[in-house]
Structure 1
């Protein structure tokens, strides 16, 4: 998902990883919801991550 977000947001994977760790997206959103997210398309999950970050004040 880091690479998918990096491609969508025109950022490097390391920049995306920093944003995700800064907002605790990986541990609080992706890992706990893995089973549900695993059934969704990549573009849907990227949009969910974008919204998760936006709610936390991080614009990508």
Structure 2
């Protein structure tokens, strides 16, 4: 994972935490446990970083990351 992708993942963790009223630590643990970071956010960075954060938070919730 390069620096830009890592910054995106951190940004998304905080966006999810804000929308779901959880701490970033809780969100990170949930996303890591479900494989969302390594199997969804990182491999699809090129496409996902062009989307709005609200859309992505909803998308993560829908795919149950």
TM over 0.5: yes
Give the corresponding residue for 2:52.
41
Runs of 4+ in 1 over 2 A off after TM superposition: none
What CA RMSD, in Å, does the superposition of the two structures yield over aligned residues? 1.0
Q: TM-score, normalised by structure 1?
A: 0.85
The structure with more helix, counted as a fraction of residues: 2
Gaps (5+ residues) in structure 1?
none
Number of aligned residue pairs: give it.
Answer: 54
Gaps (5+ residues) in structure 2?
1-11
